[in-house]
Amino acid sequence: MTTIMYGIPNCDTIKKAQKWLNDNNIPFTFHDYRKDGLDNELLAQLYVTSSWEQLLNKRSTSYRALTEQQKETLDETTVRPLFIEFPTLIKRPVVIHQGNAIVGFNIKNYQQFFAV
């Protein structure tokens, strides 16, 4: 089964995670939200492995740009169109490996997740 990393290529966290995967000989494909897209079908797949709360990047510029009302009314339904319109609202990277997901990058967590 293929390992897939989702994100945007100019993100420093993505670059660190890619380096770690390459250094540990874990082959993966990269899905660029901006180039390859993000639609309801892909979002539904991400929701199978992670909750919308886990995916929401509250430190992103996109999140800070939301109105207070948008932030206060966020739930699984209201966040969907925002994720699609602003993929940078999703924490990076999201990596799917053998049907499981890991969100964000932390060396210790990656070591456990990939059992390296």
Kindly list the structural domains of the chain, giving each domain's residue range(s) and its CATH number in brackets, ordered by start: 3-114 (3.40.30.10)
- Is the pTM here over 0.85, yes or no? yes
Q: Mind listing the pLDDT tens digit for each residue in 10-53?
A: 999 999 999 999 999 999 999 999 999 999 999 998 888 899 99
Find the catalytic residue in 3, 4, 8, 11. 11
Percent of the chain at pLDDT exceeding 90: 84
Output the six-digit token pair for 47. 């929701």
Whether 105 is catalytic: no
Mean pLDDT confidence for 63-69: 96
Output the six-digit token pair for 68. 């207070």
According to the model, what pLDDT value does residue 107 have? 96
Asked if residue 56 lies in contact with residue 63, where contact means CB atoms within 8 angstroms, the answer is: yes
According to the model, what pLDDT value does residue 2 have? 86
Chain Cα centroid distance, residue 45: 12
